[in-house]
Amino acid sequence: MPIKWSAVRVSQAMDEVEAQLSLAQSFIDEALIKVQEARRIPNLASYIDQRLARLELDIKDRFGCLKAGVDNIRAAIPEGAIEAEHESGKHGTTQSLI
- Model confidence pLDDT, tens digit, residues 17-56: 999 999 999 999 999 999 999 999 999 999 999 999 999 9
Inform me whether the pLDDT recorded for 95 exceeds 60: no
Query: pTM to 2 decimals?
Result: 0.74
Domain spans of the chain, in order of start = 7-77
CB 18 within 8 A of CB 70: yes
The crossing angle, in degrees rounded to 10, of helices 7-39 and 81-89 is 130
